[in-house]
Amino acid sequence: MTFFRLGLVLAICGLCSLLTVVTGCNAEKSASSAQGSTPELSTADVAALSKQIEELNDKKLTAKDDAGREQEMRKTQELVLLAADKLLANPKIDEETRVKAIDHKWNALIRLVRLAPEDPDAEKQGKTSAEEARFVEYTKSLTTDKSSQIANRAMQNWILIQLGELNKGKPVDPQAIMTDIEKLMAKEQPADSDFQFLSQSAMLLEMAGQYDLALKTQRMIVQIAEKADNARLAKRIVNSAQIAELRLSQLGKPATLTATQLNGDAFDIASLKGKVVLLDFWATWCGPCINEMPNVVENYKKYHDQGFEVVAYSLDDDIDALKTFVEKEESPWINLYNPEGKSFDDPVVKSMGINSIPSTFLIDREGKIVAIGVRGARLGKLLEQYLKPATVSVDSKVQR
């Protein structure tokens, strides 16, 4: 998954959180209940088109294989798009129906992004699919919608998309993005979805190496939580933000870690001083961790002889499953674990400010943590930088 598509996935989550309020949206509900063939679109009135959209979204899949089902879903969602466009073009449409039509169109575009086949070569070249382009274009168009609710949520998703582009190395101004975030959050009463948006923004800023802005966003979460009606949600989000602040505070500090290797031997990360080390907190049950592994393997093979090492710290509770996985994958690097399990309650995990995985830290030859959230193409770029013979200082964007 590209960083661009990652931004879209985050955006999709944000869209659904809004649209559920409006119409009870469920982005995973792509036709599951009523049996029947795909109907032809009506050219009738607003009510007839609205009914047809509901029928399309309730249509049960009939194909026997995955390829056939995906084709059916794509065809259905394209018809939903056509019907929604017809509704939105009708001058007699009322505001409630207009909002629902936007909802249907947005969700159809979301589903088509998810159904689009991945093209690894195109993704490496920074190209986007036609489905992604349509979603982005429509989201941007809604940032000026006459409904402030739709416009605000569209702007949040547009920001997340731009942060995805930033992670791809595209020429996006992070300061301008931060200004847009601050404008959106200048409100008397925050919505529950605002916390999700800020958390996602902070994560993407951190992954892009914009540590000061990530920290600023986390602190913004703490500030607006004081205005929240949902005290339970606010408390949970504030706790997450404080953990993130602890994680970001590791930058520029010497890495300290003692743990147990899978073979039972003791390990001290200080023994790797003189090497550039990727400290990777992961688990066998973590899908994004597994998806990132080929990238780590590729960089390990390319840079290991130049002094690059990987230390993988597992949060698995099932130690047998961990050992089986490592043996099957023939992981060439140092594998650590806690014999007692503990997952996120592991003292090492807590001390590093980790509340989600994968969570990675890049350590320079001097043993200092110089980057956090290193994934994708950014890993290779940083390795080229820190494996050079000359000493390289900690990223200038790091706030001590």
- Give the model's pLDDT for residue 125: 64
- Give the model's pLDDT for residue 124: 61
Could you report the per-residue pLDDT of 144-199, keeping only the tens digit for each? 999 888 899 899 999 999 998 898 888 999 999 999 999 998 877 788 888 889 99
- Give the model's pLDDT for residue 304: 95
- How far apart (Å, rounded) are the C-alpha atoms in residues 181 and 251? 24
- Give the model's pLDDT for residue 66: 84
Selected from 3.50.50.60, 3.30.43.10, 3.40.30.10, 3.30.565.10, the CATH number assigned to the domain covering 258-386 reads 3.40.30.10
163 in Cβ contact with 209 (< 8 Å): no
Average pLDDT rounded to a whole number, residues 71-76: 89
- pLDDT confidence bin for 59, thresholds 50/70/90: confident
- Give the model's pLDDT for residue 200: 92
- Give the model's pLDDT for residue 90: 87
Phi-psi region of 223 (alpha: psi -120 to 50; beta: other; left: phi over 0): alpha
- Give the model's pLDDT for residue 400: 32
Place of tokens 């509901």: 54
- Give the model's pLDDT for residue 342: 79
203 in Cβ contact with 171 (< 8 Å): no
The CA distances from residue 67 to 70, 71, 73, 116, 117, in Å, are: 5, 6, 10, 12, 11
Please indicate whether residue 20 or residue 171 has the higher confidence score (pLDDT). 171
Bridge-based pairing state of the strands 308-314 and 266-268: unpaired
- Give the model's pLDDT for residue 6: 44
- Give the model's pLDDT for residue 41: 60
- Give the model's pLDDT for residue 218: 92
The H or E element spanning position 20 is helix 3-23
The torsion angles phi and psi of 353, rounded to 5 degrees, stand at: 75, 40
**In the chain, where are the structural domains located?**
3-248, 258-386
DSSP state of 262: T
The H or E element spanning position 277 is strand 276-282
- pLDDT confidence bin for 128, thresholds 50/70/90: confident
Contacts of 90-97 with CB under 8 Å at 24 or more apart are 90/45, 90/46, 90/49, 92/45, 92/46, 93/46, 94/46, 95/147, 97/46, 97/50
- How far apart (Å, rounded) are the C-alpha atoms in residues 311 and 160? 31
Q: Give the DSSP letter string of 166-194.
A: HHTT----HHHHHHHHHHHT-SSS--HHH
- pLDDT confidence bin for 46, thresholds 50/70/90: confident
Q: At what angle do helices 192-207 and 174-184 cross, to 10 degrees?
A: 170
Q: How many CB atoms lie within 10 A of CB 308?
A: 21
Question: How many Cα atoms occupy the beta-carbon half-sphere of 106 within 13 Å?
Answer: 32
- Give the model's pLDDT for residue 1: 39
Could you report the per-residue pLDDT of 230-269, keeping only the tens digit for each? 778 878 888 888 999 999 999 999 999 999 999 899 999 9
Please indicate whether residue 13 or residue 394 has the higher confidence score (pLDDT). 394
Nearest to 90 by CA among 51, 50, 56: 50
- Give the model's pLDDT for residue 13: 40
Please indicate whether residue 204 or residue 16 has the higher confidence score (pLDDT). 204
- Give the model's pLDDT for residue 3: 40
Average pLDDT rounded to a whole number, residues 319-342: 90
Could you report the per-residue pLDDT of 275-303, keeping only the tens digit for each? 999 999 999 999 999 999 999 999 999 99
Whether residue 22 has pLDDT greater than 80? no
Nearest to 107 by CA among 56, 45, 162, 43: 56
Burial 3-35 (b: 16+ CB within 10 A, else e): bbbbbbbbbbbbbbbbbeebeebebeebbeeee
Average pLDDT rounded to a whole number, residues 360-375: 95
